[in-house]
Amino acid sequence: MRSEKVSGTSRKGRSELETLLQFLREGDELVITRIDRLARSMMDLQQIAATLKERGVNLKATEQAVDTSSPAGKAFFDMLGVFAEFETNLRRERQMEGTAKAQAEGKYRGRKQSVDGNKV
């Protein structure tokens, strides 16, 4: 069992995911809780799915009925990916709006500087 505390919004910095993808072999099954835990970007999700398919690795989500071996299952998989990316984009947009509002009200000044003068 492997886990990672890094956000799925990007594959950058996801060393556990990369290690896992290198380790998986034909006939293995990658078990995840939900599709959005694997990736929140359609491009990343499609790349991961293609890698798994090339290697003959099955993908199973414990909280979602995902079976990418059928056309309906593949469509459901893609829809879950679209919604995960949409949710991430909405959250980012709301955060930027909240930050802009707080800055306009003088309540937000950015990150505090660290001891060496860089933002943390």
Is 70 exceeded by the pLDDT of residue 4? no
pLDDT at 117: 63
Q: How far apart are CA 120 and CA 110, in angstroms?
A: 10
Q: How far apart are CA 21 and CA 51, in angstroms?
A: 8
pLDDT digits (tens, 9 = 90+) for 56-71: 998 888 888 887 777 8
- pTM of model > 0.75: no
Q: Quick one: pLDDT band at residue 6, thresholds 50, 70, 90?
A: low
Domains and CATH numbers, the chain: 19-87 (3.40.50.1390)
Q: How far apart are CA 7 and CA 65, in angstroms?
A: 23
Q: How far apart are CA 11 and CA 88, in angstroms?
A: 14
- Residue with more model confidence, 32 or 11: 32
Question: Is 45 in contact with 35 (CB distance < 8 Å)?
Answer: yes
In the block, tokens 């893609």 appear at 78
- Residue with more model confidence, 109 or 26: 26
Q: How far apart are the first and last CA of the chain?
A: 32
